[in-house]
Structure 1
Amino acid sequence: MYKLIAIDMDGTLLSDEKKISPANYEAIQQARENGVKVVIASGRPLVGFKKYLEQLNLVSEDDYAVAFNGALVQSSQGGEIISKTTLTLQDYKDLYKLSKELNVNIHALTETSVISPKDTIYTRGEAEMNGISNEIIAVEDVAVDTTIVKVMFVDKPEIIEEIMQKIPEEVSSKYTVVRSAPFYLEFLDKSVNKGAGVAALAKKLNIKQEEVICIGDAGNDIHMIKYAGLGVAMGNAFPEVKKIANFITKTNEEDGVAYIINKFILNGEEAFAV
C-alpha cells in the first residue's frame, strides 16, 4: 500500500494555465482521507507555491513540502525544517563566469528573491510566478551573507539545448544540474535533488521507499521518479523522463495526477513496469 505521494507542480499537477483541475483536487482530497501523505515537490521556493498548498488544504502542522528541487524540505507552514542545503556566493560567481563564456543569461534564487546581473524576461517571469522580488545587482555587489539556494542559466530553449553540451565536466560533476523547463538549466548543491528531498521526508515519517509514488514531467523530476517505489512520468513528460519511469500517466491537461491516484491508491491496483 502506498503511503506517500510526491507530486511535481508545473507540467504535472497544474494545467497549462497554472490551475488545479477539479479532478486533481478531488483525487488528492480522497487520498488524504485514506491516510496517504500528499506532498508537493517543486523547483519553486515555498512562497512560490504556497497558494496552491492552501487550495489543496495542505497547510496543517503535519503537512510538508519539497521546495527548490529538494534544497529545502520543510513544513508547509514554513516552520520546521527537515533538510536545507544551499550553494555559496563563490558558486554563483563561478557559474556567472561560465555563463559569460557561454553567452547565456543567468540568475540566482535566494529564499525570498531572484537576483540577476541584468533584467531579462526570464528573471521577471521567475519573480512574478513565485511572488518574490526581482533584484538587479552586479554579481560582485551581492552581499557576502546572501544565501544562494540555486543558480539558473535561463534563455531560449535552443540556446539551453546548445550550452548543455558545453558544460565542462568539472562543473557537471560538482553540482546537480537539471533541466527543469525548456528555458531553464539549474545548478544545485551536488547532494540536492527532489529524490533526496522526498527520501529525507519519507525517513522522517517512517515511510518505506516502496510505499512512495512520485509523479513528474521534467529533468528535475528524474531523481525522485527513480527513487520512488512507483515512479510516474506524465504523458507530456520529457522523453528522458518517460524512459526511466515505471508508469506513464495521462498529460497535465488530462488530469494525469488524478488518474494515478484513482488507479493505484483509491482502487489499489498493483504497479507494473512500462
Structure 2
Amino acid sequence: MYKLVAIDMDGTLLRSDKTISDRTKKAINDARDKGVTVVLATGRPIEGVSRYLEELDMYTDKDYVLSYNGAFVQKTSTKDVIAKIALKGEDFHYLRSISDDLGVNIHAFSEKYGLVTPKNSTYTELEANINKIDINEMDISVIKDDEVIVKIMMIDEEDVLTEAIEKLPKELYDKYTVVRSSPHFLEFLHKEANKGIGVELLAKHLGVKREEVITLGDAGNDLHMIEYAGLGVAMGNAFDEVKAAANYITDSNDNDGVAKVIEKFILENN
C-alpha cells in the first residue's frame, strides 16, 4: 500500500499549457481522501507553486511541499521548514567566478535577498515570471560568505549552456549536486540536497517506508527521487535516462500520465 506520492511539476503534473487536467485533480483528491500524502516536488520556491497548491487545496495542516529541488521540505500552511540543506554565500561567489570564465549568466535564491543576480538576463526574467517573484539585481559582493543560499543556477541560451557544461571543472560534480532542470537552467545544490533526499526526509518525518513511496518525474532533477522510491515513475515524455532509471513508465504529461499512475497503483489497489 502506497502512502506518499511525490510529483514533479513542469513536464509531469502540468500539461504543456501549464494547467492541471480535471482527471488528474480528481485522482489526487481521491488519493488524499484515502489518507495518502501527495506532495509537489519542484525546483521552484514555494511562492512559485502557490497557485497550484491553492488549486489542489494543499494548504491544510497535513500538507507539505518539496521546494528548491528538495533542498527545503516545508509545511505549506505555515512555510515552516521541516528540513533544510542549503549552500552559502561563498558558494555563490565561487560559482559566479566560474560562470564569468565560461561566459554564462547566473542567479541564485538567497534566504535574505530572494532571487538575486549580478546582472539581469532573459532567463532570470523567465525564472521571476514563472515564480511570480521579484528580481534583486545587485552587487553580490555584499553577500557574506556564511549567508544562506538555497540554490544557484547558471542560465542561458541552450547552446551556450550546453557548451559551458562541457567545460565545467570536474570538481564541481564532487562539490555540488548538479542538475539540468531545463535546456536553459543548470542548477547547483548542496551535495546532500536533491529531490530524492527531500522525499526521504519527508517520508521519515511521516513514518513512511521507502517501499510505500511513489515518485513521478520527467527530467534530470527528478532522477534521485525516482531512484529512491519504491515505485519510481517516468513520464512518457521523460528524458531517456529518467525512463531507464524508472520502475514504470506512464503516459505523457499531456495525456493524464499522473492520473493514470494514481488510479492504477492507489485507487484500484488500496
User: TM-score, length-normalised on structure 2?
Assistant: 0.96
Deviations along 1:45-100, whole A, 9 cap, x unmatched?
Answer: 01110111111011101111100001100101134321012111110000001101
In the aligned structure 1, how far is the partner of 2:159 from the partner of 2:262? 35
Is 1:2 aligned with 2:12? no
Q: Who is 2:154 aligned against? A: 153
- Distance verdict in 2 for CA 1:256–1:148, change over 3 Å: same
Deviation at 1:152, TM superposition (A): 0.3
User: TM-score, length-normalised on structure 1?
Assistant: 0.94
Identity of aligned residues (%): 51
Structure 1 alignment gaps of length 5 or more = 270-274
In the aligned structure 1, how far is the partner of 2:233 from the partner of 2:165? 25
Q: Who is 1:106 aligned against? A: 106
Q: Verify the 8 A CA contact 1:234 1:248 in the aligned structure 2.
A: yes
Q: Verify the 8 A CA contact 1:113 1:127 in the aligned structure 2.
A: no
Deviation at 1:160, TM superposition (A): 2.1
Q: Who is 1:44 aligned against? A: 44
Moved over 4 A (4+): 143-146
Deviates more, 1:79-88 or 1:37-46: 79-88
SS at match of 1:38: strand
Is 1:23 aligned with 2:23? yes
Deviations along 1:204-224, whole A, 9 cap, x unmatched?
Answer: 111000000000011110000
Q: Who is 1:92 aligned against? A: 92
Deviations along 1:218-264, whole A, 9 cap, x unmatched?
Answer: 11100000000000011111111111111111111111100110111
Deviation at 1:143, TM superposition (A): 5.5
SS at match of 2:87: coil
Structure 2 alignment gaps of length 5 or more = none
Deviation at 1:24, TM superposition (A): 0.8
Corresponding letter in the other structure for 2:7: I
Deviation at 1:165, TM superposition (A): 2.1
Q: Verify the 8 A CA contact 1:87 1:148 in the aligned structure 2.
A: yes
Q: Who is 1:54 aligned against? A: 54
Deviation at 1:134, TM superposition (A): 0.4
The two structures, once aligned, show a CA RMSD in angstroms of 1.4
SS at match of 2:149: coil
In the aligned structure 2, how far is the partner of 1:79 from the partner of 1:179? 26
Deviates more, 1:12-21 or 1:77-86: 77-86
- Distance verdict in 2 for CA 1:78–1:163, change over 3 Å: farther
